[in-house]
Amino acid sequence: MNIPTNLKYTKDHEWVSLDGEIATVGITDFAQKELGDIVYVEVETLDQSLEKDEVFGTVEAVKTVSDLFLPVSGEIIEFNEDLESNPESVNTDPYGKGWMVKVKVSNVDDFNDLLDSQAYKELIGA
């Protein structure tokens, strides 16, 4: 299972990278395997400011739909539009082409409070 050490993680299986005040968010390798074949990613919160842990979208797999929870407070400034035609990128490259949104972070402490790779490994039993 791929759990990059340079990212932070949530208990809800989202990952986050931070570049200055811009966070990139997606779901983990563990999450995409649990969901199965992803057929649709919906984000209707573009250009909205949300608080940490609020739902920013949904991911639909063949057998289920799951909410996506924002790991950091801020404004959703970009949606990965490639997922509209290639949602399977979340399955094949969850930490690269399968990223979901970019967020202008309003509270960097949110990022610092997230799980590191070791804590996430322990959470999922990897």
Predicted local distance difference test score (pLDDT) of residue 61 = 96
Predicted local distance difference test score (pLDDT) of residue 39 = 97
pLDDT under 70: residue ranges of the chain: none
Cβ atoms within 10 A of the Cβ of 95, count?
A: 18
Predicted local distance difference test score (pLDDT) of residue 1 = 81
